[in-house]
Amino acid sequence: LRSPCLLYHRRCNQTMTTQSQTQEMFRRAEAVCFDVDSTVIKEEGIDELAKFCGVGDAVTEMTRNAMGGSVTFKKALSERLSIIRCSREQVNKLITDHPPQLTAGIKELVDRLHERNVKVFLISGGFRCIVEHVATQLDIPLDHVYANRLKFYFNGEYAGFDDSQPTAESGGKGRVINMLKEQYGFKTVVMIGDGATDLEACPPASAFIGFGGNVVRPQVKERSLWYVTSFGELLKELEKI
Ligand SMILES: [Mg+2]
C-alpha cells in the first residue's frame, strides 16, 4: 500500500483489489472526513437556504451549473450568495424551522467511529452555522468542522462571506486534509462524499469512498474505487475486525 491514494491504472481485474484496499484503509483510518451536503445530510444546504429566502429556482440551477465545474468554486458561491442575500435571522429561522435532515445511518456510523477512537471531521463547501448544527447532533466537536462563514452586519443583514477559508476555494477540501495531516500527524485519512470536490481531495486523502445514498453523480461513481449507497455498508465493514 505504498501509493498515497491507491491511484490505479485501469488494468483489467485490478478493481477488486483496489476496492478491498480502500476498505482496509477505511478499517484502519486514523481520521475520517465527511462531506456534508448530500452526504451527511440529505439535501444541499445552499439550495435549502435559497428556497427559504424565496430564490430557490434560480439558485438550484446555478448549483447544478457550478457542479459542472466551468466556474471557480469561489465565484459560484459568491454569485449564488449575492442572489440569496440571507440575513442572520433568516439563517437562524431556517435551522429551527427546516433543520438539516441527517442521512439514515450516519449517527450510528459516527458513534461507531468515535468508539474506535477514530477522529471524525466535517469538511463542507456549505455554511458553518448550518454545519455546526449537524456536528452537534453527531457529537462531533466544533473544532472538527471546516466550512464557509457567512458574514453579517450588526443589524443582521447579509455582508458577504469569509473568502479566506480554504473551503471557499476550488481544491479547498484537499487543503484542509493536508492541514489536518500536518496538525494531527495523521497517516491514514479517508474522505467520504458524493461530489467531485470530495473525490479531488484524494490525494492528499489516503483513500476516497464515493457515497450515492442521496444522489448519484455518475462521474464520481465511475472514478470511485469503492462506491456505497448506504452508511450501513460502511458500518458492516467496521464489523470485520
Ligand atoms: Mg456533497
Compute the distance from residue 36 Cα to the ligand 1 centre, in Å.
6
pTM value is 0.86
Compute the distance from residue 230 Cα to the ligand 1 centre, in Å.
15
Query: Helix axis angle, 88-97 relative to 128-137, nearest 10°?
Result: 30
Catalytic residues: 35, 37
Cβ–Cβ under 8 Å, residues 123 and 35 = yes
Cα dihedral angle (152, 156, 157, 160), rounded to 10 degrees?
A: 10
Q: What are the residue boundaries of the structural domains of the chain, listed by start?
A: 15-43+102-238
Compute the distance from residue 154 Cα to the ligand 1 centre, in Å.
31
Residue 3 confidence (pLDDT): 47
- Tens of pLDDT along the chain (241 residues) come to 444 455 544 444 444 468 888 999 999 999 999 999 999 999 988 889 999 988 888 888 787 776 666 677 888 888 889 889 999 999 999 999 989 999 999 999 999 999 999 999 999 989 998 999 999 999 999 999 999 999 999 999 999 999 888 888 878 899 999 999 999 999 999 999 999 889 989 999 999 999 999 999 998 999 999 999 999 999 999 988 6
Residues with CB under 5 Å of ion ligand 1 are: 35, 37-39, 194-195
Compute the distance from residue 8 Cα to the ligand 1 centre, in Å.
24
Instruction: State CA 98 to chain mean position distance.
Output: 20
Residue 15 confidence (pLDDT): 47
- CA–CA distance from 214 to each of 42, 51, 73, 126, 141 (Å)? 6, 19, 22, 17, 25
3 state SS of 120: strand
Fold of 15-43+102-238: Rossmann fold (3.40.50)
* Rounded Cα gap, residues 149 and 69, in angstroms: 22
Residue 68 confidence (pLDDT): 64
C-alpha cell at 213: 445514498
**DSSP track, 14-40:** -HHHHHHHHHHHHHT-SEEEE-IIIII
* Rounded Cα gap, residues 168 and 126, in angstroms: 9
Residue 9 confidence (pLDDT): 45
Compute the distance from residue 44 Cα to the ligand 1 centre, in Å.
7
* Residues 75-90 as b or e (16 or more Cβ within 10 Å = b): ebbeebbeebebbbeb
